[in-house]
Amino acid sequence: MKYVNAEKMLPEKLLRSIQEYTQGSYLYIPIREEDKKQWGECTESKQILRERNESIVQAYRSGSSVKTLALHYYLTEHSIRRIIRGQR
């Protein structure tokens, strides 16, 4: 997140109005609800994790142990079990 000086961005009247509530502090302005994106929507992260999880399940069904999969994918055994349960 990048900070922007409000004097450079907001109209003077709006800035003065905001200063009635707070001044000299950082103010976070959240994104509008209708503009929010779901996690992974802007990157390929969601697809990469889906493919990884499918590989984990396939390897498990082919006989790989939970312990072996955990070591191979650098995850805990608990995480591997959770992924396997989620794909049933």
- Per the listing, tokens 């200063």 go with 19
17-44: pLDDT as tens digits = 999 999 999 888 888 988 888 877 778 8
What residue numbers bound the domain in which 55 lies?
45-86
Based on the fold, state whether residues 50 and 18 are members of the same structural domain.
no
| Average confidence (pLDDT) over 45-55 | 94
C-alpha 82/C-alpha 39 separation (Å) is: 20
Contact by Cβ (8 Å): 26, 3: yes
Total-model pTM = 0.58
| Average confidence (pLDDT) over 53-77 | 97
Based on the fold, state whether residues 20 and 52 are members of the same structural domain.
no
Q: Hey, is 48 helix, strand or coil?
A: helix
Identify whether 12 is part of a domain.
yes
C-alpha 57/C-alpha 35 separation (Å) is: 35
Q: Which two tokens stand for residue 49?
A: 């994790």
C-alpha 40/C-alpha 63 separation (Å) is: 31
Mean pLDDT for all residues in the chain: 92
pLDDT for residue 54 is more than 90: yes
pLDDT for residue 88 is more than 70: no
